[in-house]
């Protein structure tokens, strides 16, 4: 793979993304919404006294934080339990950028000049995927940092330490970028076979379903957060998915297929 070609595609895609403020807004807004919900709950609990009867009902949850007061333990459970939804941001958000990257160019016929060059399919995929994934990764990291500091400021700095645990720092550094890349690659591959962005996003959106299932199972299982082992296993699984998608994408993302499926 020639890095100069990858860099050229990345530069072109990144300029297009930066010029589209609506698309960038669509990247940042979902991340803020996901973080605002638990933060609002923490603020509400901070200003109200907890009902002892309610504490008995959630006893198995707050027992996971033995060193915290009951009120702070409830806030800690909320903050850490909602962390799983940070994995939805890199799965959902870059899909719009990825599909627009291919289908928008197919419709505008701006993809033809790129396909006329000697660039190889893996190089084209890599450049487009990196450019589409970067905004979602940066948005996730930025909101994650704000999430930790804001909740700590509202209630107690110990909430900040819960957010910035070794497990979640590892997940942010490794799992979030991997999920982003997988989502983007899947969106690009699907977009190369269809001519409608909405259809591509609906098909690619199936990647979100397993993450939602994991988050829901985590909550009903009474587990406040993931373990480091679970994060590392997730890294390996998503890496395998990325490799499989690249292989499949190199096969289906060919010049003839794209140019003959113009919408």
pLDDT tens-digit profile of 160-219? 999 999 999 999 999 999 988 888 888 777 776 666 656 656 665 666 666 656 655 555
Please, which contacts does 43-50 make with residues 24 or more away whose CB atoms are closer than 8 Å? Answer: 43/154, 45/71, 45/74, 45/75, 45/78, 45/155, 46/75, 46/154, 46/155, 50/74
Task: Tell me the mean pLDDT in the region 99-106.
Answer: 64
pLDDT of residue 262: 44
- Please determine, for residue 238, whether its predicted confidence score (pLDDT) is greater than 70: yes
pLDDT tens-digit profile of 23-82? 677 778 888 888 999 999 999 999 988 777 766 666 777 778 888 888 898 899 889 888
The first and second tokens of residue 121, run together, are: 């399919």
Task: Tell me the mean pLDDT in the region 93-101.
Answer: 70
Rounded Cα distance between 145 and 139, Å, is 10
pLDDT of residue 54: 67
Indicate the DSSP class of residue 64: T
Q: What is the mean pLDDT of the chain?
A: 77
pLDDT of residue 131: 84
- Residue by residue, DSSP assigns 91-151 as HHHHHHHHHIIIIIHHHHT-SHHHHTSS--HHHHHHHHHHHHHHHHHHHHHHHHHHHHHHH
Report the percentage of the chain scoring pLDDT > 90.
21
The first and second tokens of residue 4, run together, are: 């100069």
pLDDT of residue 230: 84
Whole-prediction pTM value?
Answer: 0.80
């Amino acid at each position: 793979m020639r890095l100069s070609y990858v860099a050229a595609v990345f530069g072109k895609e990144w300029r297009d993304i930066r010029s589209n403020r609506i698309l960038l807004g669509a990247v940042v807004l979902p991340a803020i919404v996901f973080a605002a919900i638990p933060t609002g709950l923490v603020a509400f609990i901070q200003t109200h006294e907890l009902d002892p009867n309610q504490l008995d009902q959630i006893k198995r949850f707050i027992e996971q934080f033995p060193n915290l007061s009951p009120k702070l333990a409830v806030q800690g459970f909320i903050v850490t339990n909602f962390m799983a939804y940070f994995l939805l941001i890199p799965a959902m958000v870059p899909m719009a950028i990825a599909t627009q990257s291919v289908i928008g160019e197919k419709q505008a016929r701006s993809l033809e000049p790129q396909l006329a060059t000697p660039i190889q399919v893996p190089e084209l995929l890599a450049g487009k995927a990196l450019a589409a994934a970067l905004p979602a990764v940066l948005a996730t990291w930025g909101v994650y940092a704000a999430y930790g500091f804001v909740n700590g400021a509202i209630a107690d700095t110990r909430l900040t330490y819960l957010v910035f645990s070794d497990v979640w720092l590892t997940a942010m550094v490794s799992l979030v970028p991997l999920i982003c890349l997988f989502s983007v690659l899947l969106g690009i591959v699907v977009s190369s076979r269809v001519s409608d962005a909405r259809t591509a996003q609906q098909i690619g959106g199936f990647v979100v379903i397993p993450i939602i299932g994991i988050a829901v199972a985590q909550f009903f299982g009474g587990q406040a957060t993931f373990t480091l082992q679970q994060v590392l296993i997730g890294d390996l699984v998503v890496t395998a998915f990325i490799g499989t998608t690249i292989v499949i994408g190199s096969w289906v993302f060919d010049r003839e297929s794209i140019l003959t499926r113009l919408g």
